[in-house]
Amino acid sequence: MLLTDATAATRGVSCAAMAWFDRVRPRHDGALAATVGGIIDRVKHRNAALELDERDRLDGSACLVTGANRGLGLAIAKDLARRGGDLILACRSGLDAARADVASAAHERASVEARELDLARLSSVESFCDRLAADGVRLDVLVLNAGVVPREARKTEDGLDESFQVNVLANVLLVQRLRERGLFVAEEGVWPRVVVVSSESHRSAPPLDWDGFGSFRPWGMREAVKQYGYGKLLLQTWTAELARRTRGELAVHSLCPGAVRTDIGREAPGLTKPLLELTMRAFFVEPERAAAPAVYLAASRRLEHETGIYLHGKRRREPREDTLDADNGRRMWERSAALLEALGHPLAPAKERG
């Protein structure tokens, strides 16, 4: 296929911009670099396609989406509901509005409910899983979408950095508790799917620091994006290890949705917000379109018996090399378990899991 002059010119600009961004990427300590990177990613991948057809249905499948009350999570939940999935919306706030919004888009036979889940409180994760188990829920799809970008270090009631807890450790506890309680059940050889919303910002994060794992330290606004990227690096490392350990039990995939027009930057400094909002309106994709990779990983029948896929936008790609290292995966697994135990949330030994 021949490229139009406009397309060729756009790609030329994209390549030049990418070369510049590769030089500044190691510094990646502010929202500007993250924003530019997101714009470039969108230009590079805008013509890619993920193939979903009428056979990629979720009728009768129980689908749980975290952070489903707005933005990308809401868009993912609505698309899964359109495909017939029975949705459980796990949200910290806005439960009634989210349920009504998703129900309005759902297939006529799909059910929608909303349940409170606050990842900034590990006790909330525990009670959430207890309620699901007590209600006899069995999950076919779990989308770990919820995330936060605080403007500074904040301690949770558990004594952890909010960014680390919400973006990393609470997800570990959530998935392990769901496994322990037998809420994932493979039927007729079909593996339940776990889809993790990650970020390309993990590539520019500093090296993994196992000695300082989970420790709280003060940081300010200039480090917000760096902390977010480091959290995604840890999460991506754990995701790879989960895929290794659960092959035959779960299909575990992850993705970076690209530059999405959401309010995740709502804590950006007041002086930068007008520019950030203008940039998002001009260059970032709306959540309804950005949801496509997550929905593809959750619903595509072509992916049966595959695990460990990483999508950047609409293309398969390998995540950063150290996230795939088995030794790093083992350390991530063990340190997460040790920290949770120290906080009063011990995980059951593997042999006791359902």
For the chain, 354 residues long, the average pLDDT of each consecutive 10-residue run is: 31 38 42 50 56 90 97 97 98 98 95 98 98 98 96 97 98 98 91 97 97 96 93 98 97 91 54 57 77 97 96 95 98 98 94 46
The pLDDT, as a whole number, for residue 281 is 57
Answer yes or no: is 120 within a domain: yes
How far is CA 21 from each of CA 36, 38, 164, 204, rounded to the nearest angstrom? 8, 11, 26, 11
265 inside domain: yes
Domain at 248, CATH number: 3.40.50.720
Residue 124 lies in a domain: yes
Just list the catalytic residues: 228, 232
At residue 50, the pLDDT reads 79
CA dihedral (127, 130, 135, 136) in degrees, to 10, reads: 150
Enclosing H/E stretch for 193: strand 193-197
Give the pLDDT of residue 278.
61
Range of the domain at 31: 5-348
Structural domain tally of the chain?
1
- pTM given for the model: 0.83
Are 73 and 119 in contact by the 8 Å Cβ rule? The answer is no
**Position 1, amino acid:** M
Please check whether residue 157 lies inside any domain of the structure.
yes
Q: Is residue 224 part of a domain?
A: yes
Q: Name which of 116, 117, 151 is nearest 264 in CA terms.
A: 151
Q: What 8-state DSSP symbol labels residue 147?
A: -
Q: Looking at the domain assignment, is residue 353 inside a domain?
A: no
Examine residue 178 and state whether it is found in any structural domain, yes or no: yes
Distances (CA, A) of 158 to 3, 119, 163, 225, 343: 55, 11, 13, 23, 7
- Residue 354 domain-assigned? no
